[in-house]
Structures are given as C-alpha cells and as structure tokens.
Amino acid sequence: MTSRQRKNASKPTGSRRGFRRYRHEVWRQKRVAAAHVLLLLILVAAIFADVYPIDANRQNLFHHLKAPTLSHKEGEFPRLLGTDPLGRDLLSRLLQATRLSLLVGVLAVAVACGVGTLLGLLAGFIGGMLDHIIMRVVEALLALPFVVLAIAIVAAIGTSFLNIILVLGLTGWVTFAKLVRAEVLRIREMDHVEAARAIGCSRWRLLFVHVWPQVVGLVLVTITLTLGQMIIAEATLSFLGLGIPPPTPTLGGILSDAQTYFFSAWWIVVFPGIFLVAIVLCANLIGDFLRDYLDPRLKL
C-alpha cells in the first residue's frame, strides 16, 4: 500500500465525519447533551425492564402504599419508589409502562410517518385532483382536536395494543402530510429539479431522486416532535380508561389509579409524572436541535 493509499484509508468516511460532527454539535449544548443521555438511559432501562427482580403485577396487600425506602427484609428487594394501592412495586411497573409507552409511540409514529409522508409527497408533486382530495381530508381531520378524535375512534372499535397504535397513527398522519406537501411544493420549483425535468427525467425519478432527499430532514424532525405527542396521547387514553387494558401497566393507567391517593401517597403520582415529562421533554429538545442542525440556512 502506497503512502497516498494509507493516507486516504486513514481518513474518516462520510458517515463517520457526519457522526463526529453531530456528536460535536450535541456536546456544545449542555441541555441537548443531557436530553440525549437521559433518553438513552430511559430507553436502556425500559428495554431491560424484565431484568428487575420484582414482578410488576405481583400483589401484596401487606405492602399497601409503602413509601419509597432503601431498607428491606432479608430475602426481599427494596421498594425504591414505594408501592401502589395493591402493594405492587412502583418502579417495576414504571419500567414496564415506560417500555410500553415508547413502543406504542414509536410504532404509531412509524404508521403516521409512512402514511402522511407518502400522501404529502404525492399531493405536493402530482397536484391536481389528488392534491385537492388529500388536503380536504387533512383539513377535515385538523378541524377536530387530535385527542378527541382518537377517543372517539377508540370508543368505537375497542381497546387493544394494536388498536391504540392504529388509532394514533391514522389520526396523526395529517401533520406529516401537510408539512411534506408544503416542502415539496417549494422544492419542485427549484432550478435543479427544473433542469432534471428538462433533460427528460421521469416523474417518479424526479420525486424519489431529486425531491425526496431534501425532504428527509423535515421528516426526521417531525418524527422526534411527534413522538412526544404520541406518548402523551397514549397516556391520556389510558388515563381515561380507553388505553391498553389492565393488568398491563401504562403511565396513564398508573396516574389514573393514583388520583384518590394524591395527598396520602404522593409517590404514586409524582414518579409516573416525572417519567412521562422526562420522555416528552427529551424528545422535544432533540427535535428542536435536529431542526436547527438539519436546516441548511443556518450553516451558511
């Protein structure tokens, strides 16, 4: 291997340079770095929730509303965040509920992103009657509050894990469709797209080779911001009794069960609220950072 080849081999690839630049920008902003670290810790804890030695659904009325403590009897594990009205360990239930909330949020965002992005691309690029129909549907759905519409659909089709994902995904796609359509309308009039059209590129090549790559950044930002919205919506449905049915623990369900014990057992209200706020806040901070990071106008 020549010296030039060795020098070229030692240079970082484009993906490595991109990761290094992203990491550098993250660590420049303490709040964003803290959001990445905290969200990663929550994600790891949720993934390995089954490793926690206490069963989330194990009831023990002798431990009814025990306060958080580090002390414990021999052979038992300490109740680090206390117990709920049925004596179930709160930390174990929160880990299971967090994993479920993240899973529902990610899958619902995937459905919303897939449907909304595709319809937004078609509406913005093809236009005509297709654009008119899609936008009238979007305006009709936007006329109703997101959570109210989700509650109405869940009440009609029933509560289950799959139903919650489909309801949240198929009511949340309008945000992606509206934003992507607006961006496509801007991009399709750019000079490079007009030049590609002039040399005879097909409509689908124009859409997926020249337009789509410039929409990816917007879609990524919208995904991070929508994730928090989906998690809040799932918690709201569970709080109202329209989410995933018990005994599966959910953040909204835990908060709903804790309503009557706010003054006598503060921990079963405060800790689920902290978990929920932390997830949503971290997702929103990362979304705001990505919006600025991927905006080419800020790099000039």
Q: What is the pLDDT, as a whole number, of residue 115?
A: 93
Confidence of residue 298 (pLDDT cuts 50, 70, 90): very low
Q: What is the pLDDT, as a whole number, of residue 107?
A: 94
Q: Hey, CA dihedral for 86, 89, 95, 96, is it positive or negative?
A: negative
Structure tokens of 80? 């680090």
- Tell me the per-residue pLDDT of 142-154, one tens digit each, with 9 for 90 and over: 887 777 777 788 8
Percentage above 70 pLDDT, the chain? 90
Q: What is the pLDDT, as a whole number, of residue 274?
A: 92
Most confident of 9-18, 75-84, 129-138, 202-211: 129-138
Q: In 68-94, which positions are buried (b, 16+ CB within 10 angstroms) versus exposed (e)?
A: eeeeeeeeeeebbbbbbbebbbbbbbb
Q: What is the pLDDT, as a whole number, of residue 116?
A: 93
Residue 290 has pLDDT above 90, yes or no: no
Question: In the predicted model, what is the mean pLDDT of the chain?
Answer: 83
Query: What number is the average pLDDT over the span 178-201?
Result: 84
Q: What is the pLDDT, as a whole number, of residue 7?
A: 46
DSSP 163-176: HHHHHHHHHHHHHH
Query: What number is the average pLDDT over the span 121-138?
Result: 88
Residue 29 has pLDDT above 80, yes or no: yes
- Tell me the per-residue pLDDT of 213-254, one tens digit each, with 9 for 90 and over: 888 888 988 998 899 889 998 898 888 888 888 788 899 988
Residue 110 has pLDDT above 90, yes or no: yes
Residue 108 has pLDDT above 90, yes or no: yes
Residue 2 has pLDDT above 60, yes or no: no
> How far, in Å, are 42, 189, 245, 281 from residue 226 at the CA level?
18, 28, 24, 12
H or E element, residue 17:
helix 14-28
pTM, rounded to two decimals: 0.85
Q: What is the pLDDT, as a whole number, of residue 9?
A: 45
Q: CA–CA separation, 100 vs 230, rounded Å?
A: 12
Structure tokens of 19? 């990761």
Q: CA–CA separation, 297 vs 216, rounded Å?
A: 16
Domains and CATH numbers, the chain: 104-300 (1.10.3720.10)
Query: What number is the average pLDDT over the span 179-187?
Result: 89
Confidence of residue 297 (pLDDT cuts 50, 70, 90): low
Q: What is the pLDDT, as a whole number, of residue 150?
A: 78
Q: CA–CA separation, 27 vs 243, rounded Å?
A: 38
Q: What is the pLDDT, as a whole number, of residue 296?
A: 55
- Tell me the per-residue pLDDT of 194-203, one tens digit each, with 9 for 90 and over: 888 788 777 7
Question: Residues near 153 by Cβ (< 8 Å), separated by ≥ 6?
Answer: 167, 171
Question: Residues near 190 by Cβ (< 8 Å), separated by ≥ 6?
Answer: none
Query: What number is the average pLDDT over the span 71-96?
Result: 81
